[in-house]
Amino acid sequence: MPPRLQIDRVAKRFGPTVALDGVSLEVAAGEVHALIGENGAGKSTLMKVLSGAHRPDAGSLTLDGQPFEPSDPLHARNSGVAMIYQELNLAPDLSVEENILLGREPTSFGWIKRGERRRLAKRALEEIGQPQMPLDAPIRSLTIAQQQLVEIARALVGEPRVLIMDEPTSSLTQVDTENLFGVIERMSQCGVSVIYISHFLEECQRVASRYTVLRDGQSVGTGAMAEASLEQIIQLMVGREIDEIYPRTSRSVGEPVLELNGVAGLAKPSCVNLTLRAGEIVGVFGLVGAGRTETLRAVFGLDRLAKGSVSVFSQEATRSTPAKRLANGVGLLSENRKEEGLLLNRSVADNLTLTRLGPVSRLGLVSDTAQSATAKKWMAKLDVKASSAVQPVGELSGGNQQKIALGRLLHHDARILLLDEPTRGIDVGSKAQIYRLMNELAGQGKAIVFVSSYLPELLGVCDRIGVMCRGELSEVRPVADWSEQEIIRTAVGQAEPREAAA
């Protein structure tokens, strides 16, 4: 009997970026298969190929022995491959019953057969062991966990052969997670294959019978869950060498410039303690959703700070606004340069000088020539490739856009830089330039918080590193005191208690 789903040497590239580089995977009927990998390892691209959102460049997919070439998500779903995304896709004002049958309403002559719909919805809920779910309640009134179960029930109505779940537990409590595992087990007994994607290895171990580890777009290991130790899996996830060159000149670390004490936001983070000194780069590692971005935003005054205190240059300044933070020399680089970081339809010059228009103004009027001259200076310094200082930023490549966003902090002369994923989605050359720039800035006595999901760059660039997991920042230790395994283990919530001496 052929496997339920076979993925054979699938490759996918986006321009120069290789997202998938020959991934192979086999899932048997009724098997729960854990797909494991760091951020950027290629998991989501693989899922998009499976759900028909992307076409693979090479390789083949086979479903129950038949070639499977989904042209779009609807086609994939009708062929029996359903996907449950991290963000739920429900209509919040419709009822549970309506949502479960949304788009598949049983009809006769254009009229919905309500009795039939109710019967189907009920059956789907019974199949996942949730017969008590109120069919008429609007989705809005349910908890996240219940909504997720509705989403699963909806997927089951299509009688899927393969169900893909992307980080299903990221917003669930322990009890809800257990409940979900029960549902997955039931589905597996009914012969549905489940591909389970999660950062949390313990969960994968608990729920899956087999696993595949992705790294840098390749499947690097696969096997039975029972025969693998966490240690082995982590080794597979990490197992790459640091191949980029990270410059590091000697830096002299000075006075503390930014102190966070028990900082907590409304939802995340829950507790962050950090002392940042002049002339040092502190890395913050963590998986997506660990609360790193939220921490930076709360410190910068963009989000409400619920608890804790912040001192800037030894001045207590807990409550603040971005305007005040910038006035104190604190700058934030947003992880989201397209949605938040830049004014895409405005010029390079406008974007570079926006936080500090004073030096390019005469008599209260912004001088076009002064603004252009200043912009050109930074463009040359940062090696920005643009046709002119008046070109809209949105027309530049990702790397050049990021340099403009960073250049704004330089023009502002920020002395404390909070950099959120500064190298995300940019080419290797620009990355190296940004590392060099960070090294140079630290050498000038500026202090940098460097948030990243890419461990090698943190290890290469930072003086000290802290790890965030579920809203908490671990102890911040010098790079030499961490091993890669230890960092990953802390990030996935598997930290071993350490002796106080460390």
Task: Candidates 390, 432, 479, 495: give the one binding another protein (CB under 8 A).
Answer: 390
Residue (363 or 501) nearer to another protein, CB: 363
| Residue 266 touches another protein, criterion: CB under 8 A | no
Using CA atoms, how far apart are residues 490 and 285, in angstroms rounded to an integer?
10
Task: Candidates 45, 51, 130, 371: give the one binding another protein (CB under 8 A).
Answer: 371
| Residue 74 touches another protein, criterion: CB under 8 A | no
Long-range contacts of 219-228 (CB under 8 A, 24+ apart): 219/22, 219/23, 219/24, 219/25, 222/25, 222/26, 225/34
Taking the alpha carbons at both ends of the chain, their separation in whole angstroms is 54
Using CA atoms, how far apart are residues 238 and 92, in angstroms rounded to an integer?
40
| Residue 401 touches another protein, criterion: CB under 8 A | no
| Residue 339 touches another protein, criterion: CB under 8 A | yes
What are the residues whose beta carbons fall under 8 Å from the beta carbon of 92, sequence distance 6 or more? 138, 139, 140
Residue (75 or 376) nearer to another protein, CB: 376
Give min distance, CB of 339 to another protein, in A.
Answer: 7
| Residue 365 touches another protein, criterion: CB under 8 A | yes
Instruction: Please identify which residue in the block is written with the tokens 């907590």.
Output: 264
Residue (75 or 377) nearer to another protein, CB: 377
Give min distance, CB of 330 to another protein, in A.
Answer: 10
Under a CB-based contact definition with an 8 Å cutoff, are residues 361 and 341 in contact? no
Give min distance, CB of 53 to another protein, in A.
Answer: 23
Long-range contacts of 99-106 (CB under 8 A, 24+ apart): 99/139, 99/150, 99/154, 100/124, 100/125, 100/150, 100/153, 100/154, 100/157, 101/154, 101/157, 102/154, 104/157, 104/158
Under a CB-based contact definition with an 8 Å cutoff, are residues 417 and 434 in contact? no
Residue (390 or 432) nearer to another protein, CB: 390
Task: Please choose, from the candidates 437, 487, 485, the residue with its C-alpha nearest in 3D space to the C-alpha of residue 458.
Answer: 487
Give min distance, CB of 33 to another protein, in A.
Answer: 39
Give min distance, CB of 300 to another protein, in A.
Answer: 8
Give min distance, CB of 347 to another protein, in A.
Answer: 7
Residue (402 or 439) nearer to another protein, CB: 402
Residue (101 or 352) nearer to another protein, CB: 352
Task: Candidates 368, 383, 413, 481: give the one binding another protein (CB under 8 A).
Answer: 368
Residue (51 or 372) nearer to another protein, CB: 372
| Region binding another protein by CB under 8 A among candidate stretches 23-31, 234-242, 387-395, 429-437 | 387-395
Residue (43 or 411) nearer to another protein, CB: 411
| Residue 346 touches another protein, criterion: CB under 8 A | yes
| Residue 388 touches another protein, criterion: CB under 8 A | yes
Build a one-symbol-per-residue string for 157-176: x at contacts with another protein by CB under 8 A, - elsewhere.
--------------------
Identify residues 298-337 at the interface with another protein (CB under 8 A). 302, 321-323, 325-327, 332, 334
Task: Candidates 79, 198, 347, 402: give the one binding another protein (CB under 8 A).
Answer: 347
Q: How many residues make contact with another protein (CB under 8 A)?
A: 34
- In 51-136, the DSSP E strands lie at 58-63, 66-67, 81-84, 107-108, 111-112
Task: Please choose, from the candidates 273, 313, 358, 312, the residue with its C-alpha nearest in 3D space to the C-alpha of residue 321.
Answer: 312
Residue (323 or 428) nearer to another protein, CB: 323
Residue (363 or 502) nearer to another protein, CB: 363
| Burial of 140 per CB tally in 10 Å (0-12, 13-18, 19+) | exposed
Give min distance, CB of 366 to another protein, in A.
Answer: 5
Task: Candidates 217, 341, 422, 466: give the one binding another protein (CB under 8 A).
Answer: 341
| Region binding another protein by CB under 8 A among candidate stretches 154-162, 338-346, 426-434, 494-502 | 338-346
SS3 of residue 495 by DSSP: coil
| Residue 413 touches another protein, criterion: CB under 8 A | no
Task: Candidates 226, 364, 380, 502: give the one binding another protein (CB under 8 A).
Answer: 364
| Residue 370 touches another protein, criterion: CB under 8 A | no
Q: How many CB atoms lie within 10 A of CB 94?
A: 14
Backbone angles phi, psi at 403, to 5 degrees: -65, -35
| Residue 350 touches another protein, criterion: CB under 8 A | yes
| Residue 343 touches another protein, criterion: CB under 8 A | yes
Buried b (16+ CB within 10 A) or exposed e, 479-492: beebebebbbbbbb
Give min distance, CB of 414 to another protein, in A.
Answer: 11
Can you read off the two tokens belonging to residue 286? Answer: 């963590």
Q: What is the CA radius of gyration of the chain?
A: 25
| Burial of 422 per CB tally in 10 Å (0-12, 13-18, 19+) | buried
Tallying the residues shown for the chain, one arrives at: 502
Under a CB-based contact definition with an 8 Å cutoff, are residues 282 and 253 in contact? no
Using CA atoms, how far apart are residues 361 and 351, in angstroms rounded to an integer?
15
| Region binding another protein by CB under 8 A among candidate stretches 6-14, 104-112, 142-150, 353-361 | 353-361
Name the residues that contact another protein, by CB under 8 A: 302, 321-323, 325-327, 332, 334, 339-347, 349-350, 354-355, 357, 361, 364-366, 368, 371-372, 388-390, 408
